[in-house]
Copies of this chain bind each other. A is one copy, B any other.
């Protein structure tokens, strides 16, 4: 916050892509003394973004939108992030920052080598989202209290990293720097594997031989299923792209999961329910500690 306010000129942030993440960011930045410009592929969304005060200004092309920006935020699917980095870098002003909200960081960091020397790539991965997508799923508190992983390119000056930190802090998130490759391994565990599992669980539970059984299975699913499998309702193409770009880390994380999962199965087979209970208690302890961490981290 302080850094942004010390700036005599109003900070200009350009949000490229106005889906769930981009539009929610625009909403969160309302009233922060930041000029928000934006671009979305569809004209209807560009109009709505102005009408709903998601950004202050929209442009017909992404190139125009980024021209005077201090920070450009690529809020798009991974293939488009990779595509737009070289396209937009040349239109950006000297000393400006380009970031993205993608769920993987190593490939994007590599792609940032195509940028002009004085445009700095600093990746962002806010740990926030829902199973929904698109402009109309956005809401201003999406990012509140979220942790944000920041992956600066080697050439990014500390002042640019500080500026991006300030932007994230001013909407109530908790940024921290992490190595891009390490980031991909962490989120493979904390997010990507969850999506694979939630999807497999949903089909494993609800796929029925006949409609009578399906009705019983539907009745048998309650709030546990609703929450455990919520993210199975996410966008299939988006998750295909994420897993595709983080294939090895996801496979490693699945292997780590398999170790404890297979242990549970063996305990049930062996009727070793004392160990089962102990392992279940270990999971409870870990989740309860995480809840405590999140509570302490809330402002």
Contacts and interface: CB of A to CB of B under 8 A. Distances in A.
Contacts of A193: 201, 204-205
Given A203-B260, A204-B257, A233-B288, A191 B225 contact: yes
Interface size band for A = 35 or more
A201 B197 contact: yes
Interface in A192-221: 193-207, 213, 216-221
Contacts of A218: 289-290, 293-294
A23 B289 CA distance: 28
A158 interface: no
A84 interface: no
B280 A199 contact: yes
A250 interface: yes
Give the secondary structure class of A's interface: helix
A199 B128 CA distance: 22
Interface string A256-291: 111111011100110101001111111110111111
A269 B243 CA distance: 11
A149 interface: yes
Given A225-B290, A230-B228, A220 B149 contact: yes
A137 to B, nearest CB: 14
B284 A271 contact: no
A189 B220 contact: yes
A202 B268 contact: no
A237 interface: yes
A127 B219 contact: yes
A289 B129 CA distance: 22
Contacts of A282: 203, 207
